[in-house]
């Protein structure tokens, strides 16, 4: 198993993109220089598609689609043109869909009208995560949390566990603690040793205020990205399942 600690995200673990504050427009970027990261994430209620285009690599300039270009997603029978979402450091294209069933094909098309090209990438949604435990709601900081799920054996698929805790420091500031593990899906069980998570034992935490936490399992399948994209581009479909809120006592 691979252990990853710190303030990061699942996408970082899975080799997701870096952030760039620079941007350019797609009409001045050749197709073969477009790097793409495409992902569909389903949580049992709905699915969210996020696509990012950068110039040459994950840390290259963000690409804003020109009027002659558009990005379209198909999830099962739903077809939508994705809309641009922009924040301070990042630009991507997003859309929301109904919760798809397992083995539903997700197709992403970048349509370049001036070049008369359509870049098509596909992936099949993996099986939904069936999470059996944790069932207890309160744990002490040295306790063990047993996580159990229905094992699945699928090709090109991986399973990741994330434990996230929101705590309070002695000065009243929030403190986020994250713990990630890449699991063997066939095992069906994993034990989180809270005593080994360094962040829960820092002296600056207010021991009188419990931490609120969650456990999330993410099953990820890799698909086939169009070969016209820049090397290193990717498409993934992810099924996520989170636990109920857990309370971690620090005293």
Average pLDDT over the chain, rounded to whole?
Answer: 91
CA dist., res. 174 & res. 211, Å (int): 10
* Cβ-based neighbour number of residue 194 at 10 Å: 21
CB 161 within 8 A of CB 181: yes
pLDDT score for 8: 35
Residues 38 and 81 in one domain: yes
Domain endpoint, select from 101, 126, 151: 126
pLDDT band at residue 75 under the 50/70/90 scheme: very high
Domain end residue (candidates: 77, 111, 126): 126
Q: What is the domain-level CATH number for residue 99?
A: 2.60.40.10
Say what the pLDDT of residue 14 is: 42
154: CATH:
2.60.40
Pinpoint the alpha helices (H) of 15-165: none
Residue 96's pLDDT is 97
Report the alpha-carbon distance of residue 166 to residue 78 in Å, rounded. 36
- Asked if residue 171 is part of any domain, the answer here is yes
pLDDT score recorded for residue 20: 59
Quote the pLDDT of residue 135. 85
Let me know whether 174 and 69 are in one domain: no
**Model confidence at 91: pLDDT above 50:** yes
Note whether 100 and 75 are within 8 A (CB).
yes
Asked whether residue 160 is domain-assigned, the answer is yes
State yes or no: pLDDT of 13 exceeds 60.
Answer: no
Kindly state whether residues 209 and 178 are assigned to the same domain. yes
Which band of pLDDT confidence, cut at 50, 70 and 90, is reported for residue 21? Answer: low
In this model, does residue 6 exceed pLDDT 70? no
- pLDDT of residue 50 exceeding 60, the answer is yes
- Residues of the chain with pLDDT > 70, as a percent, come to 91
pLDDT for the residue 12:
40
Do 107 and 148 lie in one domain? The reply is no
Answer yes or no: do 109 and 15 share one domain: yes
**Domains: count for the chain:** 2
Q: Write down the pLDDT at residue 90.
A: 84
Please report whether residue 225 resides in a domain: no
Per-residue pLDDT of 123-166, as tens digits, reads 999 999 999 999 879 999 999 999 999 999 999 999 999 999 99
Residue 91, domain extent: 8-126
Assess whether 93 and 200 both reside in one domain: no
Please give the angle made by the CA atoms of 202, 205 and 207, to the nearest 5 degrees: 110
Interstrand relation of 69-75 and 78-81 (parallel, antiparallel or unpaired): antiparallel
- Cβ-contact 107, 77 below 8 angstroms: no
- Do 98 and 106 contact (CB within 8 A), yes or no? no
pTM, to two decimals: 0.85
* Segment 167-174 long-range contacts (CB within 8 Å, at least 24 positions apart): 167/199, 167/200, 167/205, 167/206, 167/209, 167/211, 167/248, 167/250, 168/205, 168/206, 168/209, 168/211, 169/204, 169/205, 169/206, 170/204, 170/205, 170/206, 171/204, 172/206
pLDDT of 55 above 80? yes
Q: Which residue in 158, 155, 44 sits closest to 100, CA to CA?
A: 44
Residue 39 in domain: yes
Write down the pLDDT at residue 102: 87
Q: How do residues 158-198 score in pLDDT, each as one tens digit?
A: 999 999 999 999 999 999 999 999 999 999 999 999 999 99
The predicted model gives 52-56 an average pLDDT of: 97
Q: Given its phi and psi angles, is residue 76 left (phi above 0), alpha (psi -120 to 50 degrees) or beta?
A: left
Is residue 15 pLDDT above 50, yes or no?
no
């Amino acid at each position: 198993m691979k252990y990853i600690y710190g303030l990061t995200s699942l996408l970082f673990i899975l080799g997701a993109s870096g952030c760039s504050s620079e941007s350019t427009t797609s009409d001045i970027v050749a197709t073969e220089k477009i790097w793409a990261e495409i992902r569909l994430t389903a949580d049992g209620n709905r699915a969210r598609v996020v696509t990012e285009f950068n110039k040459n690599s994950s840390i290259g300039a963000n690409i804003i689609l020109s009027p002659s270009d558009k990005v379209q997603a198909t999830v099962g029978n739903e077809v939508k043109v994705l809309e641009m979402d922009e924040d301070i450091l990042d630009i991507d294209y997003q859309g929301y869909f109904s919760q798809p069933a397992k083995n539903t094909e997700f197709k992403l098309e970048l349509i370049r009208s001036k070049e008369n090209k359509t870049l098509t990438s596909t992936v099949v949604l993996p099986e939904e995560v069936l999470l059996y435990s944790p069932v207890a709601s309160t744990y002490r900081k040295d306790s063990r949390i047993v996580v159990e799920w229905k094992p699945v054996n699928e090709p090109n698929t991986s399973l990741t566990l994330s434990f996230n805790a929101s705590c309070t420091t002695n000065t009243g500031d929030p403190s986020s603690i994250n713990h990630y593990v890449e699991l063997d899906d066939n095992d069906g069980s994993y034990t989180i040793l809270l005593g080994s998570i360094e962040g829960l034992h820092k002296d600056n935490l207010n021991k009188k205020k419990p931490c609120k936490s969650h456990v999330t399992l993410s099953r990820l399948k890799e698909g086939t990205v169009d070969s016209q994209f820049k090397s290193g581009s990717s498409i993934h479909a992810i099924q996520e399942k989170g636990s109920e809120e857990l309370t971690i006592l620090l005293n």
